Chains A and B, each alone.
Chain A
Amino acid sequence: MNINATLLGQTLAFVIFVAICWKYVWPPIIAIMEEREKRIADGLEAAKKADDSLEEAQLAFDQEMNKAKAEAAEILEKANSRASQIVNDATAKAEAEAEKILSSASKTIENDVNKAKEELRQKMSELIIDTSEKILGDEISPEKHQELLKKAAEEL
């Protein structure tokens, strides 16, 4: 159990093996492990990015959807109001037309009545004058006749 040159031999062996490990064993394995670590980290980051962009896309989609919904609602409302306007217009037009027709009809009737009255008056005057001529037996000049007729018609 004595101490001898074995100690120095072991020290030398230690130095050599540490050097071998330092040069040829440690670096390649550490490099590979670090590279793999980096790849995993990159992958996770990419996944996170994809997640984020998905969220963004979802957000944009929701926004577009809401916009489209609002537009559709607006269009619908416009169409509705336009339809009711058209109905209103048509109703008003129809009412006006009806009134017009009614008024023109009543005017025609009035005209007809007036015309009939006029005709009646004319006939009545003619009849009266004819009767008066016969009674008086006197021929009335056409001028006078006309004048009388007019007078009678006015009086009537």
Chain B
Amino acid sequence: MASASGEQTSAEYIQHHLTNLVCGKTPDGWTCDHNAVDQMGFLAFHVDSLGWSIFLGLVFVGLFRLGIPKLSTEAPSGIQNFVEMCIEFVNDNVQSIFTSAKNKLIGPMALTVLVWVFLMNLMDLVPVDYLPTLAGQVAEATGMVENSKDAYFKVVPTTDPNITLGMALAVFVLIIFYSIKIKGLKGFLAELTLHPFGKWMMPVNLVLEGVNLIAKPISLGLRLFGNLYAGEMIFILIALMLTFSSISIGLLGVGLHLIWALFHILILALQAFIFMVLTIVYLAMAHETEDH
């Protein structure tokens, strides 16, 4: 895009890639106008992140529904193989972490987290300019914006802290829910206040355990966000090399993009896996009843 409109500086190019398409409530009512973003309060949605997130969630559900065979227990084939492999992998992980307690929700949730987060991460491999440029062209053609570079479109949902922290929030709510369900309200409060120093140091214990508790969702969400944001940033910087009018730098950029993309496949899968495992571990900890 930068090469198309020569006025854009490198900083603007990067900034453009890091800005979401926001629709929110301003004092004048709901709007998707980028210039009004500053007037929006909490009631604003990153339509691009959320849209891609929901779309990829539907892809996950569709893929896995397709993987359900016609009630056949014969040797699986094709997509069913893949689906069963995923489920077996997730199930093994869940069962190795959930040794004593049993919870029928954990498996499906871990599967959703793994596949969904992986799909969202995978969007990072789409070259950074493709979808935003397409979105800009569509927006210009439909008259939503006057100039395509005024259309903002951030594709990878997991580079948006709202998305990662949103999932972490759901996990956090589940942690508290199961803590109270399994240990009772008293047991949960006791866990928060009676460790590690005994009951005479209750305030200190509460601070320590409170930080411990709050740190779980924060670290869970920010870890994923940080890794993907950094990866996306590097993709943007590499893409920036292609905007220079030098063939050698451009070729170097192509090579670097390839190398980083290959390496990034590892990070994508790994971060999805880590998110899943930590979700399982945190919930397993919520199910632990014995004192330590």
Residues of A within 8 A of B (CB): 1, 3-11, 13-18, 20-22, 24-26, 28-30, 32-33, 35-36, 39
Chain B interface residues toward A at CB < 8 A: 18, 22, 24, 40-46, 49-50, 53-54, 57, 60-61, 64-65, 67-69, 71-73, 83-84, 87-88, 91, 104-105, 107-109, 111-112, 116, 157, 160-163, 165-167, 169-170, 173
Report A80 CB to chain B, min CB distance, Å. 65
Indicate if the CB atoms of A25 and B73 lie closer than 8 Å: no
Q: Which of B42, B88, B167 contacts A10 (CB 8 A)?
A: B167
Partner of A6, one of B44, B67, B72: B44
In the bound complex, CA of A48 to CA of B109 (Å): 39
Given contacts A4-B43, A6-B44, A30-B87, A18 and B67 within 8 Å (CB-CB): no
Q: Are B163 and A36 in contact (CB under 8 A)?
A: no
Closest beta carbon of chain B to A132's beta carbon, Å: 139
Q: In the complex the two chains form, what is the Cα distance from A15 to B109 in whole Å? A: 9
Chain B residues touching A, majority SS: helix
Residues of chain A contacted by B108 (CB below 8 angstroms) = 18, 21-22, 25-26
Contact B167 A14 (CB under 8 A): yes
Residues of B within 8 A of A28 (CB): 68
CB pair A3–B60 under 8 Å, yes or no, is: no
Least CB distance, A6 to chain B, in whole angstroms? 4
Taking CB atoms, residues of chain A closer than 8 Å to B87 are: 26, 29-30, 33
Cβ–Cβ contact A11 & B166, under 8 A: yes
Pick the contact of A13: B42, B50, B67 (CB < 8 A): B50
Could you jot down 14 A-B contacts, CB within 8 Å? A5-B43, A6-B49, A10-B157, A10-B166, A17-B60, A18-B170, A21-B60, A21-B111, A22-B108, A25-B68, A30-B87, A32-B72, A36-B73, A39-B73
Docked pose: A31 CA to B155 CA in angstroms: 36
